[in-house]
Amino acid sequence: MADNTNEGHSVNFRNSQSESPSDEIISIKDPGNAELIKPNQETENMEVHHHPDIHHKPKKWKEYFLEFLMIFLAVTLGFIAENLREHITESSKEKQYIAGFIRNVKDDTANLHHVIESDKQQVKGVDSMLNLSHVNMAIDSNRKSFYYIAIRYFYNSSSFKSNDATLQQLKSTGDYRLIEKDHVADSLAKYDADIHSIYSQGAYYEVYFKEILSRLDELTDMTILGDTSLIINEKMMNRPFPPLRDDDGKLPTLFNKIFDFRIITNAYVENFLKPQLENSKNLIAFLKKEYDIKD
């Protein structure tokens, strides 16, 4: 009987994988030392990092209060410093405005001096003209006086105009609030109101002045100003002057207007311009003292 060749023989199939993977040696060539390192050896060599303890001890209430106090003081000091800086800036700007206003008022005083003197001279001329209100204008000497006075005193006017640049800037920019001293702000407001009162009176002055000019144009022949046979260098020549065109009885009306003009002009000077000149001088002295401003 034929023998079974497989009988009596045991075939031991060796597992191609290592029975203990941990025993398997993995060759890692280190370029530096070319040592063989086992995986378990590498694990053993790893450093163990410990996480810091995140559980702090609770702070005492005094520590919280101290932190709050420090933050509060920092914010408060910052707020105070900012307010102080803003106050210093605004105080400097306030003083600049006052200095500018003083310069404007100085311009006004110079203008007031000029207008007062001009209008006082005009009142004298008006008085001279009124002296002719009942004379015979058919006489050449009377007509020459009439023309002379009219040319000298009624063809130029002088009314006051304030230099209000600083006041207008204070109003337009809203910087009136920078004037912290109440009595100073009141003084500026009063000055502004007084100026507008002067303007109102000056408007009457201008209306009557223009009315007189209109009536003079109807009555006179002002082309004589270009006639050198009659006037040379404002000097009247010894020749008859043209008659007045008083065919409709306009001359008495003219003298009535001139009389009204005298009243208005005199009131303008005495009741408005002169008091304003004195007030302007006092205001300049007052503001210089308040803000320690030197010339």
Whether 269 contacts 123, CB under 8 Å: yes
Rounded to an integer, the average pLDDT of 261-279 is 97
Share of the chain above pLDDT 70, in %: 74
Supply the pLDDT for residue 90.
Answer: 57
Provide CB contacts within 8 A for 164, sequence distance 6+: 104, 192, 195
Cβ–Cβ contacts within 10 Å for residue 42, how many? Answer: 11
| Token pair 């010339």 in the structure block, residue | 295
Supply the pLDDT for residue 29.
Answer: 46
What is the SS3 string spanning the chain?
Answer: CCCCCCCCCCCCCCCCCCCCHHHCCCCCCCCCCCCCCCHHHHHHHCCCCCCCCCCCCCCCHHHHHHHHHHHHHHHHHHHHHHHHHHHHHHHHHHHHHHHHHHHHHHHHHHHHHHHHHHHHHHHHHHHHHHCCCCCCCCCHHHHHHHHHHHHHHCCCCCCCCCCCHHHHHHHHHCHHHHCCCHHHHHHHHHHHHHHHHHHHHHHHHHHHHHHHHHHHHHHCCHHHHHCCCCEECCEECCCCCCCCCCCCCHHHHHHHHHHHHHHHHHHHHHHHHHHHHHHHHHHHHHHHHHHCCCC
Closest of 172, 180, 162, 166 to residue 107, by C-alpha:
162
Provide CB contacts within 8 A for 138, sequence distance 6+: 243
Supply the pLDDT for residue 40.
Answer: 53
Supply the pLDDT for residue 57.
Answer: 62
Is this structure's pTM higher than 0.75? Answer: no
Q: What are 110-126's pLDDT values in tens digits?
A: 999 999 999 999 999 99
Q: How confident is the model at residue 24 (pLDDT cuts 50, 70, 90)?
A: very low
Judged by average pLDDT, the poorest of 4-8, 149-153, 197-201 is 4-8
**149 pLDDT exceeds 70?**
yes
Q: What are 64-92's pLDDT values in tens digits?
A: 677 777 787 777 767 676 665 655 555 68
Q: What are phi and psi of 45, to 5 degrees?
A: -80, -15
Supply the pLDDT for residue 11.
Answer: 45
Q: How confident is the model at residue 214 (pLDDT cuts 50, 70, 90)?
A: very high
**155 pLDDT exceeds 60?**
yes
**12 pLDDT exceeds 50?**
no
Supply the pLDDT for residue 85.
Answer: 60
